[in-house]
Amino acid sequence: MASLPAKRLLLILYLWTSFWSIITCFHLQSEDTNEQLLNTIQSYMRPEINACENFYDYSCGNWGKANENVTNFLEIDVITNLDHAYNLELEELFQNGIKGQKPATKFVYDKLKIFYKSCIELNDYNVSHLVEAIKPWQEEEWPKRGDSLKSQNEWNIWTTLGRMAKYGFNEIFLPGDLRLENNGLYVWDLELYEPNWSVAGAITYPYYDGENEELITMAQRIYDLLEELAQLSKKHTKDEAKELSFKEFQRELPHIDLAAYIWERLGIKDGEKFMITVKSVAYYQQLTELIKRTSDNLLINLLRDSFVYHFRGEMPSDAWHRSCVHTLRKLIPLALDFLYNEEVYATVKTDTNKVIESVYHAVKTKFQQIIQEHSNDLSSEEMQMLKEKLDHMQLNIGNLAQNAKDELYLKYFDPWQLKENDLFKVRLNMKSCAPMCRHAFTTAFNYIGIPFAYIRYPMIHSRFHALFLYAELGNTLGHELMHGFDTDGVTYDSSGSTWPLRIYNKTSFAQGLECLRQEYTTNINEKLADFSGFRLAYESYFHISYDASHDSPTLRVSQIVSNSPDFEEIFACPAKEVMKNRIEKCKLCTRYACDVAKGDYHYNDGDGDASDKDKAQQGHVDGW
Query: Which whole number is the average pLDDT over 31-40?
Result: 81
Write down the pLDDT at residue 268. Answer: 86
Write down the pLDDT at residue 391. Answer: 93
Query: Do 495 and 610 touch, CB atoms closer than 8 A?
Result: no
Going by pLDDT thresholds of 50, 70 and 90, the confidence category of residue 298 is very high
Write down the pLDDT at residue 19. Answer: 47
Write down the pLDDT at residue 332. Answer: 82
For the cut 50, the answer to whether the pLDDT of residue 194 exceeds it is yes
Which residues touch 289 (CB under 8 Å, ≥6 apart)?
255
Q: What percent of the chain has pLDDT over 70?
A: 68
Going by pLDDT thresholds of 50, 70 and 90, the confidence category of residue 594 is very low
Residue closest to 350 by CA, chosen among 402, 397, 403, 406: 397
Least confident window among 231-240, 256-265, 501-510, 568-577: 501-510
Write down the pLDDT at residue 173. Answer: 95
Query: Which whole number is the average pLDDT over 186-214?
Result: 88
Write down the pLDDT at residue 74. Answer: 44
Assign residue 279 a region (left: φ > 0; alpha: ψ between -120 and 50; beta: otherwise). Answer: alpha
Predicted confidence (pLDDT) per residue in 427-471, tens digit: 776 654 444 445 566 666 788 889 999 998 888 899 988 888 888
Query: Do 387 and 371 touch, CB atoms closer than 8 A?
Result: yes
For the cut 70, the answer to whether the pLDDT of residue 47 exceeds it is yes
Boundaries of every domain in the chain: 157-314, 349-418+436-543, 551-592
Predicted confidence (pLDDT) per residue in 133-163, tens digit: 788 988 888 998 888 888 756 899 999 999 9
Write down the pLDDT at residue 564. Answer: 60
Write down the pLDDT at residue 597. Answer: 28
Going by pLDDT thresholds of 50, 70 and 90, the confidence category of residue 124 is low
Write down the pLDDT at residue 212. Answer: 87
DSSP string, 304-321: HHHHHHHHHHHS-SS--H
Write down the pLDDT at residue 436. Answer: 43
Q: What percent of the chain has pLDDT over 90?
A: 26
Write down the pLDDT at residue 9. Answer: 65
Query: Which whole number is the average pLDDT over 19-37?
Result: 60
Write down the pLDDT at residue 6. Answer: 66
Q: Where are the beta strands (DSSP E) in 222-298?
A: 242-245, 274-278
User: 157-314: which CATH topology?
Assistant: Neutral endopeptidase; domain 2 (1.10.1380)
Q: Report the C-alpha gap between 87 and 73 in whole angstroms.
A: 16
**Residue with the larger pLDDT of the pair 322 and 380:** 380
Write down the pLDDT at residue 170. Answer: 83
CATH of 349-418+436-543, one of 3.40.50.300, 3.20.20.70, 1.20.210.10, 3.40.390.10: 3.40.390.10
In b/e form, how buried is each residue of 175-197, taking b as 16+ CB within 10 angstroms?
Answer: ebebeebeeeebbbbbbbbebbe
Write down the pLDDT at residue 281. Answer: 96
